[in-house]
């Protein structure tokens, strides 16, 4: 099937001397192809137009996309700003640290980041909190015999992230409902009327913020739910310039958003790869039997190199965050081109993650590239988490929960004498934007 491009738009146009990819539709631009077929769109644009080209993101406008690996370094460039993120998604990400630069960004990030480093996670007992939740979920999969995998991993991740916030089990259904309504803000048309997604999404955001504000008050009153919120609140309060509760609440809400879809997608892909490659499953089962229990501390993760390699290779082949938007604050040199100040930029993590310039046999899923490496992990090896000042805060948490999940899955299924099996086609229904994920419909059997 050909790509979802407009056959009537064949003009060759230039903006700032850089070609615009043909095939844009009115209003939505290239979004249909970006959402459904991004890898092919990027490859075709590179082949026909070269390394620099404009993509039309519909309501978010044109972003100059560069597939030259130099573009990755823009994420560390002092004259490149993240404020464009707030302009693209003001309702969801306005006022959060992912859309800030310089001092304001540093101040908010400094207050949160320690809680997410291995020491903070261990002190707060996050591994012990997660292990039983993960084990119960994979046991339920075993009992049911087959599952719609992305729906299941989405539910599990929400449960984990809510437990991180200390939300009691009986309140989870309410939070689930509000969270789903909040996500409507991603696609809500800008019409604020009762019953429409924008109104519902804003109401859900206000509800969530009110609950989080109460969490913050509880943490100050030493009635905190988990160590993590406690740690964040005390780090905020210790800062030289105390930050307002609004900033704290917006950034805790950001953690809910940033930590959910991305991890659910990665976990679902991991199960899909284990189901379609029996050799991977065998290697994982062998490791799980050797370690014998789900690890709970970062220090234990070194015992699980196969599970770690699985997590890294799954993310390399199926990066959950595919594109990062930025704005050039000054004129920049990018590859062979001068980019004018003010240009809106798109940094295609997906392209680099699967680029032959950075990886040998990039399309092959190979645990060996991680298991046999002798040098430490470099920024380019974890580019799926970004790099520079905004590099993902959740990296160590994801690493822990993915390894815990792999080991729990292998122990539970192996004990029952079953293994994961793919019950649906994988290629149809994949999505690449705003976050990438496998088809919602893929089913996995355990038999």
Shorter beta-carbon distance to ligand HEM: residue 105 or 366:
105
Among 138, 392, 442, 444, binds ligand HEM (CB under 6 A): 392
Angle, alpha carbons 186-188-193 (nearest 5°) = 145
Binding segment for ligand HEM among 16-24, 241-249, 279-287, 390-398 (CB under 6 A)? 390-398
Q: Is 328 in the site for ligand HEM (CB under 6 A)?
A: no
Per-state percent for the chain, helix, strand, coil, to nearest 5: 55, 10, 30
Ordered DSSP codes for 270-305: HHHHHHH-HHHHHHHHHHHHHH-S---SGGGGGG-H
Shorter beta-carbon distance to ligand HEM: residue 232 or 288:
232
Q: Is 324 in the site for ligand HEM (CB under 6 A)?
A: yes
Q: Is 262 in the site for ligand HEM (CB under 6 A)?
A: yes
Shorter beta-carbon distance to ligand HEM: residue 385 or 446:
385
Least distance (Å) from ligand HEM to the CB of residue 393? 4
Annotated ligand binding at 392? The verdict is yes
Whether residue 294 contacts residue 412, with contact meaning beta carbons closer than 8 Å, is answered with no
Q: Is 24 in the site for ligand HEM (CB under 6 A)?
A: no
Among 111, 158, 249, 258, binds ligand HEM (CB under 6 A): 258
Q: Is 97 in the site for ligand HEM (CB under 6 A)?
A: yes
Return the sign of the alpha-carbon dihedral for residues 168, 294, 308, 134: negative
Q: What is the CA radius of gyration of the chain?
A: 22
Q: Specify the DSSP element, H or E, that contains 55.
A: strand 52-56
- Give the burial class of 225: count Cβ atoms within 10 A of its Cβ; 0-12 exposed, 13-18 middle, 19 or more buried: middle
3-state secondary structure of 74: helix
Shorter beta-carbon distance to ligand HEM: residue 211 or 266:
266
Tokens at residue 169, please? 């089990």
Give the Cβ contact number of residue 248 at 10 Å: 25
Among 233, 252, 307, 393, binds ligand HEM (CB under 6 A): 393
Tokens at residue 19, please? 């070609």
- Give the burial class of 367: count Cβ atoms within 10 A of its Cβ; 0-12 exposed, 13-18 middle, 19 or more buried: buried
Whole-number Cα distances in Å, 404 to 172, 262, 308: 22, 17, 10
Least distance (Å) from ligand HEM to the CB of residue 225? 16
Strand pairing class (337-339; 443-446): unpaired
Q: Is 109 in the site for ligand HEM (CB under 6 A)?
A: yes
Q: Specify the DSSP element, H or E, that contains 232.
A: helix 227-238
Binding segment for ligand HEM among 37-45, 291-299, 332-340, 379-387 (CB under 6 A)? 379-387
Among 384, 404, 412, 439, binds ligand HEM (CB under 6 A): 384
Whether residue 172 contacts residue 162, with contact meaning beta carbons closer than 8 Å, is answered with yes
Strand pairing class (80-81; 324-328): antiparallel
Q: Is 127 in the site for ligand HEM (CB under 6 A)?
A: no
Shorter beta-carbon distance to ligand HEM: residue 141 or 385:
385
Q: What is the dihedral of CA 65, 266, 386, 208, to 10 degrees?
A: 100
How many chain residues are in contact with ligand HEM, going by CB under 6 A?
24
Q: Is 255 in the site for ligand HEM (CB under 6 A)?
A: yes
Q: CA-CA distance, 69 to 115, in Å (whole number)?
A: 32
Q: Is 385 in the site for ligand HEM (CB under 6 A)?
A: yes
Least distance (Å) from ligand HEM to the CB of residue 145? 28
Binding segment for ligand HEM among 294-302, 388-396, 411-419, 422-430 (CB under 6 A)? 388-396
Binding segment for ligand HEM among 26-34, 187-195, 242-250, 257-265 (CB under 6 A)? 257-265
Binding segment for ligand HEM among 51-59, 355-363, 381-389, 406-414 (CB under 6 A)? 381-389
Among 69, 394, 429, 445, binds ligand HEM (CB under 6 A): 394
Among 135, 181, 211, 321, binds ligand HEM (CB under 6 A): 321
Least distance (Å) from ligand HEM to the CB of residue 424? 22
DSSP β-bridge partners for residue 344: 327
Q: Is 154 in the site for ligand HEM (CB under 6 A)?
A: no
Q: Site residues for ligand HEM, window 170-199 (CB under 6 A)?
A: none
Closest-CA residue to 316 (of 357, 280, 349) = 349
Known binding-site residue numbers: 392
Which residues of this protein are in contact with ligand HEM, per CB under 6 A?
Answer: 75, 82, 97-98, 109, 254-255, 258-259, 262-263, 266, 320-321, 324, 384-386, 390, 392-394, 397-398
Residues annotated in a binding site for heme: 392
């Amino acid at each position: 099937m050909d790509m979802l491009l407009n056959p009537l738009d064949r003009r060759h146009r230039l903006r700032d001397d850089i070609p615009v990819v043909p095939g844009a539709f009115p209003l939505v631009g290239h979004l249909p192809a970006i959402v459904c077929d991004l890898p092919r769109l990027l490859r075709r644009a590179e082949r026909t137009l070269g390394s620099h080209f404009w993509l039309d993101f519909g309501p978010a406008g044109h972003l100059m996309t560069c597939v030259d690996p130099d573009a990755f370094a823009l994420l560390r460039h002092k004259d490149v700003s993240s404020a464009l993120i707030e302009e693209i998604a003001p309702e969801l990400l306005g006022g959060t640290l992912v859309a800030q630069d310089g001092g304001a960004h540093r101040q908010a990030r400094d207050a949160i980041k320690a809680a997410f480093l291995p020491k903070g996670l261990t002190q707060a007992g996050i591994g012990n909190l997660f292990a039983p939740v993960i084990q119960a979920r994979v046991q339920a999969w075993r009992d049911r015999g087959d599952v719609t995998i992305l729906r299941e991993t989405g539910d599990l991740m929400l449960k984990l992230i809510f437990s991180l916030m200390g939300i009691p089990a009986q309140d989870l259904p309410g939070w689930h409902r509000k969270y789903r309504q909040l996500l409507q803000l991603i696609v809500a048309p800008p019409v604020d009327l009762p019953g429409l997604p924008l109104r519902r999404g804003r109401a859900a955001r206000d509800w969530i913020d009110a609950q989080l504000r109460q969490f913050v008050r509880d943490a100050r009153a030493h009635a905190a739910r988990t160590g993590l919120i406690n740690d964040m609140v005390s780090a905020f309060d210790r800062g030289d310039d105390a930050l307002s509760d609004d900033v704290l609440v917006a950034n805790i809400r950001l953690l809910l958003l940033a930590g959910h879809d991305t991890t659910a997608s990665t976990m679902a892909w991991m199960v899909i790869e284990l189901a379609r490659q029996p050799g991977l499953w065998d290697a994982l089962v062998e490791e799980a039997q050797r370690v014998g229990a789900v690890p709970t501390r970062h220090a234990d993760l070194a015992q699980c190199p196969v599970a770690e390699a699985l997590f890294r290779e799954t993310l390399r082949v199926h990066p959950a965050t595919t594109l990062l938007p930025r704005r050039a604050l000054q004129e920049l040199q990018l590859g062979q081109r001068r980019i004018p100040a003010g240009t809106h930029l798109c940094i295609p993590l997906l392209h680099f993650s699967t680029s032959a310039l950075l990886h040998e046999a990039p399309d092959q899923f190979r645990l060996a590239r991680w298991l046999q490496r002798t040098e430490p992990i470099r920024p380019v090896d974890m580019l799926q988490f970004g790099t520079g000042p905004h590099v993902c805060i959740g990296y160590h948490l994801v690493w822990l929960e993915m390894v815990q999940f792999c080991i729990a899955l292998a122990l539970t299924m192996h004990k029952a004498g079953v293994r994961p099996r793919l019950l649906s086609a994988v290629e149809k229904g994949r999505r690449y934007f705003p976050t990438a994920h496998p088809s919602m419909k893929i089913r996995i059997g355990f038999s």
